[in-house]
Amino acid sequence: MWQPDPAWEPLGSGSSPTCLGAWLAHDEGPVVVTRLVAPVPGDPSEYDDPGHAAYWRRPAEVARAGLVTATPGLAGPEALAVDEDEAGITLRHRQVPPEAPTGLFAARGMGRFAAADLGTHRWLARDPLPDRLRLVERNGGWPTLGRTTAADVADHLWSRRRLLLDRVAALPQVAQHGDPVPANLVGRDGEVVLAVDWSTLGRGPVGADLGYWSLSTREELEPLVEAYLGGLPEGLATREQVLLGARTVAVLTVLSRAEWALSRVAKGEGALAGKLRHPAVAPHLRALARQAPHVEALL
Percent of the chain residues past pLDDT 90, beyond the cut: 80
Across 50-75, average pLDDT:
96
Specify the domain boundaries for CATH 3.30.200 within the chain: 9-94
Question: Tens digit of pLDDT for each residue in 213-237?
Answer: 999 999 999 999 999 999 999 999 9
Domain with CATH 3.90.1200.10 in the chain: 103-298
CB 62 within 8 A of CB 71: no
Taking only the tens place, the pLDDT of each residue in 70-101 is 999 999 998 999 999 999 999 999 998 888 89
Pairing, β 192-195 against β 74-75? parallel
SS3 at position 232 = coil
Q: How confident is the model at residue 274 (pLDDT cuts 50, 70, 90)?
A: confident
In this structure, the number of other CB atoms found within 10 A of the CB of residue 39 comes to 18
Out of 108-122, 217-231, 283-297, pick the least confident.
283-297
Question: Residue 290: pLDDT above 80?
Answer: yes
Which fold does the domain 103-298 belong to in CATH? Answer: Aminoglycoside 3'-phosphotransferase; Chain: A, domain 2 (3.90.1200)
Task: Please state which CATH number belongs to domain 9-94.
Answer: 3.30.200
Q: What is the pLDDT of residue 200?
A: 95
Instruction: Assign 102 to helix, strand or coil.
Output: coil
Measure CA of the first residue to CA of the last residue in the chain; give whole Å: 52
Please report the pLDDT score of residue 271 as a whole number.
Answer: 75
Residue 22 has pLDDT above 90, yes or no: yes
